[in-house]
Amino acid sequence: MWHEFKKFALKSSMIDLAIGVIIGGAIGRVITSLVNDILMPPIGLLLGRVNFTSLYIDLGRTKYPTFELAKAVGAPTINIGIFLNAVIDFLFISLVIFFMVRAMNRVREMTEKKVAAPGPVTTVCPFCKMQIPIDATRCPHCTSELTVGA
Please give the C-alpha separations between residue 47 and each of 69, 83, 84, 104, in angstroms, as whole numbers. 23, 17, 14, 38
Domain 2-117, CATH homologous superfamily name and number? Large-conductance mechanosensitive channel, MscL; domain 1 (1.10.1200.120)
Q: Which residues contact 123 (CB under 8 A, 6 or more apart)?
A: 131, 132, 133, 134, 150
b/e map of 90-102 (b: 16 or more CB within 10 Å)? eebbeebeeeeee
Give the DSSP H/E element, type plus range, for residue 78: strand 77-78
pLDDT tens string, the chain, 150 residues long: the values are 888 877 777 776 777 888 888 988 898 888 888 888 888 888 888 888 777 778 888 888 888 888 888 888 888 999 888 898 888 888 888 888 888 889 988 988 888 776 656 778 889 999 999 999 888 889 998 988 887 644
Structural domain boundaries in the chain? 2-117, 119-150
Select from 43, 122, 35, 150 the least CA-distant residue to 82: 35
Q: In terms of residues, how long is the chain?
A: 150
**How large is the C-alpha radius of gyration of the chain?**
32
Residues 150 and 143: their CA atoms lie apart, in Å, by 14
Residues 92 and 99: their CA atoms lie apart, in Å, by 11
Give the pairing type, strands 131-133 and 122-124. antiparallel
Q: What is the pLDDT of residue 150?
A: 42
Q: What is the pLDDT of residue 115?
A: 64
